Structure 1
Amino acid sequence: MDQLIERIAKEPVRTKVAVVGLVVSLLTVLNYFVLSMTFGPSISELNERIVRAGREQAQLDREFTEKTAIANNLNQFRREKELLEQQLREALAELPEEKKVDELLLLFQDRARKSGLEIGTIEPQAPVRDRFYARLPIPMTVTGNFHEIATFFDALGRMRRIVNVNDISLDAPKDVNGKVVLSAKFLATAFMFVETQAPGAAAGGAK
């Protein structure tokens, strides 16, 4: 090694400069490889990793935002669901899924008695289906004065279940202890909900 140094020292200045430049270049290249092996991937690889990590973070941020919005609206969805269920219960009370004719007749008799009427006839007939509901016609005759009959009709209109009254006929007026008594004939119609079936299901049932 000493001989090499002495030999270089005896060379001209240009040669010395060239040798020093070569040594510096070799040290630079060696330093690059040593750093690469020691500290891992290159700068380009690190940039690629950073870009990929940025995309993944953006995706995670979007998912987090969506899930946070769903969580914040969950209580609202529950309240809306409860409201719809309440509305359904109220609708089914007005338009029940079963005929419940006996219960309906008891209600009619109770309303008539409280109105001061006497029921002559009450004859429920077979349901008549119409799209998603069915009509339950109930022809009736009652006896009482005009005010009592009007009170009875008003009581039917105030029932929670839907009841229509039509084809009203008032006749045979007579004086009973100073009160004009009439015979009222009319058709009371209640309604019930009928679940619709898909054509395929109906055909299958027919088979």
Structure 2
Amino acid sequence: MKLSDFRNLDRNNVGAWPDGVKYTACILLFALLLFVGWYWSISGQSDTLVQKQKQEIELKKDFHDKQLKVVNLEKLKTQLDDMREILRQLLRQLPGKTEMPELLDDVSRSALSAGLDVQLFEPGAEAIQEGFYAEKPIKLRMLGNYHQFGSFISAVAALPRVVILTMHDVSLKPSQQPTGKLPASPGQLTLEGTVKTYRYVDEDEAEAAAPKKPGAPNAPAAKAAR
């Protein structure tokens, strides 16, 4: 095969090419196909490799985080126990079940002592929340001025037990007398809505209030069995 054989080749008549040129063209075409197939395969594997490398980094980070948690597990358990004990101590500062009626009377008397006109003070049914405290809604409507409401709040804060009152749909606005009556005194305000107060729930009460699993014996029966 000579170099001159590659000159003046008729692309429309491949069969007339010299045998050496035909063999060379076949080899080049085969090599080109091999290269294209190799490149296509390597390209797909390259994308997979990048994904696997990212996944490896994420797994290493996840392993490192879990390893730190395992190393500090005992310390974290101790901190959790300490936090639970602090929470119990804080909860014990709330009034108990037997103290709640007296507490409500104290709150009502504090409002009257402050000079407020208590038109509505209606405690509702309490509900145990998350097994360690109970909330009791109180619907109220009180009339007074800023100083009287301030005295009321100070009196509630000075009660022997911790009293938490959270506001729910409560409005404080200037008082308006019904049509046909004299207008309200200047500075007169109306506090109306629902507040919630909270009390401590001991373990026995929380256990009794917890939903029973199907087939589980009731508490008295279980204690009698012991």
Higher strand share: 1
Normalised by the length of structure 1, the TM-score is 0.47
Give the number of the structure whose alpha-carbon radius of gyration is greater: 1
Q: Which has the higher helix share?
A: 1
